[in-house]
A and B are shown apart, each in its own frame.
Chain A
Amino acid sequence: QKEVEQNSGPLSVPEGAIASLNCTYSDRGSQSFFWYRQYSGKSPELIMSIYSNGDKEDGRFTAQLNKASQYVSLLIRDSQPSDSATYLCAVMGSTLTFGKGTMLLVSP
């Protein structure tokens, strides 16, 4: 069974710090990787996608992918209290599989 693993958290960081969220996956054939942000009681919102090894930056967000290690991460620079949410890692193999999410808490 394809698995996507994330630390459930909460991950607590002070405002302005870098938050680092990690995800590992089991399906070596996976080709596409995504990070969703979900506020409590709301629907997931796509914030980053990455398809090849290396880093991809978009504003304060950087996604990192290492297919050999089956590892994908999300860095959030200059974390803001509004970044407090659950971050879901999703991996596309034959279907899209979600991790259980990591809760991020950014304190003012």
Chain B
Amino acid sequence: SQQGEEDPQALSIQEGENATMNCSYKTSINNLQWYRQNSGRGLVHLILIRSNEREKHSGRLRVTLDTSKKSSSLLITASRAADTASYFCATVRSGTYKYIFGTGTRLKVLA
């Protein structure tokens, strides 16, 4: 079974609003990564946060990681219609090269 679980499963917001999605995982990790997928195509890497980091920014993206709670959040600020996609978190279990993806959050940004 997949390790990561994203919450919410689906999110619909207006353009310009912020979107927050959360990810929980079960075991100790090397790092956590967020990916975007448009219409069932290949995934695009957004950001990687290491297990010893607590927050990271990249453009309109802000990621936090709480290893004590085994959770992460992705914030997209000032959302655009082009941000409409599915977002997945992926964890790399400590001591392995095995990537475990969550179930994804489907984000819809309405123009």
Query: Is B truly associated with A?
Result: no
B positions within 8 Å CB-CB of A: none
